Chains A and B, each alone.
Chain A
Amino acid sequence: MGIFQKLVSFLGINKKEVNILVVGLNNSGKSTIVNHFKDGENKTHEIVPTVGFHIEKFENKNLSFTAFDMSGHGRYRDLWEHYYEDCHGIIFVIDSTDTFRLIVVKDELDTLLQHPHIRNKKIPLLFFANKIDCPNALSSVKIAASLGLERIMDKPWHISCSNAITGHGLHEGVEWLTQEVRQIVATKKY
């Protein structure tokens, strides 16, 4: 591992700029999640529905992330695909209390996976089953099953439960993503 780490830093990946696309339906908690990773003084206290998208930067384990916090509102969802080409990882946020719209989530996920810029790319997908603190929240297992995540064979994916307000579960997920992105960036170098 030590050698690997050295190699990585030797290759200059340490300070690599990584683009992360944060998508999901509106009201799922994307902005709240991104807000959690911001430094203390940059944090916003009132989160309003995003219009279009926001770009936020934060660092994790020597990778400097640029997060594209997209709006999940129906009329802005067609903006997502414009960022597929240049992103190194995708965070897909799901409101686990919104059982009613799970089918819409599946539809949007399928559209995303079939997009030419995603289909043949080995790109890590991190799913957050958010709002797990709410009493009627579905478990991540149920969500994974109803979205048919097991069909995703050619991309690394991971689902973690989260509570974006307290931050519970967010670090675990992002840790996984960091690891995956690091590996992919490293293999590309060879």
Chain B
Amino acid sequence: MEFHTSKWLEAHLERNAGLKTLPRNLILGDIFGDGDYRLILVDVDFGQDLKANLKVYRGTGLVANQPLPVLPSSLISFYNDLTEPYLPVVGVSCDTDFLIYKNNKPFYKFSVPSFPLTTTESNVWQRLPHVTDESDYKILLEKLQSVSFSTLSSRSQKLLSVPLNNIKEEIDKYSGEEPSIHPSITCSTTLRKNSEDDIAVSCAVIGTENGYIFILDPLTFTVLHKAVSANIKSSPFILQTSGLYDVEFRILVICRENHVCVIRNGWTEGKILFRTANAIIDAVHLSVDKSLVVATAGKNLSCYSKKGNKMWTVKTIHEITCLCLLSLKSSNTYLVGVGMRNGAIHLFQGRHIVDCISAPDTPSALLFGQMGQEEHVLIIITIAGALNFKILKRTANFNLESQETSGPVVENRPLPLPKRSKLFVEQVMREKQNACDIHQRFQQDLIKMRLTAARAMVHLKPDENAAGNEKELVKLSARVTGLGPTFTLILNVENMSNEKPLLGLSAILHCKTSLYKLSSYVIKKMETKVLEINEPIKGDNSDKNNLIRVFVIKKDGNQPVITASINMPDTDFLDIL
């Protein structure tokens, strides 16, 4: 597809920024409360030992850089209270700790509570310090192996990988202390507490590697709700939420095992919503229709409904590396940005590509939102470490485009045709086959219709003048109110015909001027189908010959359409008084 004028302004491109940022490790937030939105990201140093830094950008400049204890899994930002100035906190998931920063300073730390050991594992660890024989070790280790690996504590997992001759050393390290299961946090997101406003308190939602989801209180950071993703092994790596914690909410848990679970209010165990055939790469939840757009390996982009039904799948041109949501609230447009190998970024509205952007190379993370003072900024961080900001032009309009270019759609399975479309398709087939006949028939009918129209026209023409002469089609009634000497005369002209309008009518009132003085003698312009003339007439004096004549005439007509004589009431008695 060709897009001649770009909808994007190239605001900044730093090819050698040297950033290594993973998806869900960058956010935008007004973290200093000055209305100037900063970009906060985790930059990973894949050196000898993994290190990570939390970096803050203001516009194009790096303004803060602080080291993190370990490699974080995700980064979120939310308002935890609404005291002025409104300052959002930044939550970094580091191993088993959820670190909260406010005003770019450490503010609070939440540690995932430990989980109890399985009885087998616990028994093994009770006995381990007391055995010395190598064969005994073997028996105990075999026992450990019988427990599913993922439910073991990290210490047991490590023990299983240690060679047999070092095992004593390894066990002595812990001096008889029983291990505990302390899962690391693998993902996090936010859930609005009770308001949909732009600035509103949200809860942090974190997911752990053993499939548990914790909703944290915004103020105290204690656990408000705890649930397990599903009744089978699940390792969540993306969380998406919708709704309000206090009212009704839904948490979608996207797991490494290629399934997506849903957790609702009050549930302590989630349900599997759907499974995918290929490995899930990234997913974006669209709050408008509560659908989930999922990118899976093998160049697939699919959309699943709220109920978990697959609504569509399209093949992308390259392998997808990351997704991001572009919400343009002012125009009520929600797009999904799809970052692919080779640096192409396609914007999808539904299943249609509405724009193509190019990044310097394969994007590793995408984010769209307000940056600095600018509302619509797309941030692209590439695998090669480039940092690219693109600003959406104010005049960009995706809606129009989507109607025009809804053409090329990659569809792997023909949709069942709805009844009406089928009818239409059959009709098209018929038209194709009998094109000549149909054309001739059509021309014939057209000519016939023209003839009928012309006849009707001819028929109507002479009729027109006589329209009013058919007396019975016009009704004129008059009413005189008042006791005198001043009267009000109300004329009512009614068109009785259903077919012909009465246009260009006017009325002339005639009377003995010695008897009556009228407020007007000519009433111009009586139109519309039902006419009503409310013409107050001032009468004066009295005589026996007290008649007022009304002539309703048509424009250009020399004959009145209808006439009436109105007998005015006596005013004699006035003299007596």
Interface residues of A (CB under 8 A from B): 25-27, 74-75, 77-78, 98-101, 103-104, 107-108, 111, 136
Contacts and interface: CB of A to CB of B under 8 A. Distances in A.
Contact of A100 (B12, B375, B376, B394): B12
B354 interface: no
B268 interface: no
Contacts of B394: 74, 77-78, 104, 107-108
B393 A100 contact: no
B11 interface: yes
Contacts of B330: 74-75
B373 interface: yes
Q: Is the interface of A mostly helix, strand, loop or mixed?
A: helix
A75 B10 CA distance: 20
Interface in B449-506: none
A104 B374 contact: yes
Interface residues of B, number: 20
Contacts of A98: 59, 372-373
18 contacts: A27-B35, A27-B373, A74-B374, A74-B394, A98-B59, A99-B59, A100-B11, A100-B12, A100-B59, A100-B372, A100-B389, A101-B372, A101-B373, A103-B391, A104-B391, A107-B9, A107-B394, A111-B395
6 closest Cβ pairs, A-B complex: A100-B59, A103-B9, A27-B373, A103-B11, A100-B372, A74-B394
Given A74-B394, A100-B389, A26 B373 contact: yes
Contacts, number: 45
Most buried by A among B374, B391, B395: B374
Contacts of B11: 100-101, 103-104
Nearest to B59: A100
Interface in B344-400: 371-376, 389, 391, 393-395
Nearest to B330: A75
Interface in B47-64: 59-61
A77 B60 CA distance: 24
Interface in B436-457: none
A19 B391 CA distance: 32
B80 to A, nearest CB: 26
A135 to B, nearest CB: 12
A136 B61 CA distance: 11
Nearest to B376: A74
A100 B61 CA distance: 9
Interface in B9-60: 9-12, 35, 59-60
Nearest to B10: A103
Nearest to A26: B373
Contacts of A101: 11, 372-374, 391
Contacts of A111: 395
Contacts of B373: 25-27, 98, 101
A100 B9 contact: no
Contacts of A103: 9-11, 391
Contacts of A107: 9, 393-394
A153 B10 CA distance: 26
Nearest to A108: B394
A20 B371 CA distance: 31
A117 B417 CA distance: 52
Nearest to B331: A75
A118 B375 CA distance: 27
Contacts of A99: 59-60
Most buried by B among A26, A78, A100, A111: A100
